[in-house]
Amino acid sequence: MRRVLPSLTALQFFESSARHLSFTRAAEELNVTQSAISRQIRALEEYLGRDLFRRVKKRLKLTAAGEAYAAQVRDLLDRAEAATLQVMAYSDAGGMLNVGTLPTFGARWLVPRLGDFKATWPDIQLNLITQTREFNFDREGIDIAIHFGEDNLPGCVTHRLMGETLIAVCAPKLLKENDDLPIARERVRNCTLLQHSTRPRAWQDWLAATGVAVVDELAGPRFEHFHMVIQAAVAGLGLALLPEFLVREELESGRLVAPFDVSIPNQHAYYVVYPKEKENNFAVRAFRDWLIATCRTEQDDRAIPSGTTASELAKLS
């Protein structure tokens, strides 16, 4: 069945004209004449049966239909370009791989280790896509992702990478203002609790484990990314509850300290996930195997005895 589609040239000319609101600038960008732009736009409007532009005081404006169409055409062209580049870069032992990752995990754990992957697989080009919400493989064009949560994503293959240990940390200057903070856990009642928007129950779980009660464990400034929580803690804005592996650098440098000898394992874990239909993709398998091997090696090297306190964790860092 024949699709109801205008020419790709007309769509390209329209998208450029809509972005610049100028046929002249669109012609310059696409290296064609202004009359060529006008002809394509007129043909597109006739095909659609709708006006896409109107002139107001000699200035070009999008109609309501044109504005709605421009956003969808731009997305269509972006995805078509990405798909084209991916096919052009494809090879049996390489190609382009779109990797989804959590922002702070990607910046602090994944990126510093990618040199090792690149040395092993130089023909695989990685594109990192970061977000805090759950990835949609089909809509976002992601091939493989690092997911934090449970091992129950429908239609996906999952492999566990690592668990997570949460510790309370703060800036050293906060201890100077509260001298007995490292001694009495109850002092947490007087501290500002820095909140992470994707882990709303983290403080509740930590406080339950320590037996400390506060007036409102959900009170405190809220941040979307762990990176912002870390920076807020370093700035002395309050007490933060963070994955130990994400703050090793700050603990080692002394920019953060772990004042309470309490650490709690998170019930969730980090997984590498990908759609079942990508299971035989060479680049997906290469990246998956590298991730699993890297996590396994680092966990063996940093094996931590059970019952290790937060202070001892800081020394291990």
Question: pLDDT tens string for the chain (317 positions)?
Answer: 678 789 999 999 999 999 999 999 999 999 999 999 999 999 999 999 999 999 888 889 999 999 999 999 998 998 888 777 766 655 555 578 899 999 989 999 999 999 999 998 888 888 898 887 777 787 778 899 999 988 888 889 999 999 988 888 988 887 765 554 444 455 666 678 898 887 877 888 888 777 666 656 667 788 888 899 999 999 989 889 899 989 999 999 999 988 877 788 888 899 999 999 888 888 899 999 999 999 988 876 554 444 444 444 444 43
Residue 250: CB partners within 8 Å, gap ≥ 6? 169, 230, 233, 234, 256
pLDDT at 83: 73
Q: Which two tokens stand for residue 48?
A: 């659609």
Residue matched to tokens 């931590």: 304
Whole-angstrom distance, CA of residue 208 vs CA of residue 242: 16
pLDDT at 305: 42
Q: Is 2 exposed, middle or buried (0-12, 13-18, 19+ CB in 10 A)?
A: exposed
Q: How far is CA 194 from CA 133, 240, 256, in A?
A: 20, 5, 14
According to DSSP, the β-strands at 53-56 and 59-62 are: antiparallel
Q: How far is CA 208 from CA 214, 235, 263, in A?
A: 10, 27, 12
Helix (H) or strand (E) holding 30: helix 23-30
pLDDT at 216: 66
Measured torsion, CA atoms of residues 11, 13, 19, 24, in degrees rounded to the nearest 10: -170
Measured torsion, CA atoms of residues 94, 95, 99, 104, in degrees rounded to the nearest 10: 70
For the chain, the distance separating the N- and C-terminal CA atoms, rounded to the nearest angstrom, is 63
124-154 CB burial, b ≥16 within 10 A, e <16:
bbbeeebeeeebebeeebbbbbbbbeeeebe
| Other beta carbons less than 10 A from residue 22's beta carbon | 17
- From the list 57, 72, 130, 123, the residue with the least C-alpha distance to 100 is 130
Per DSSP, 201 falls in state T
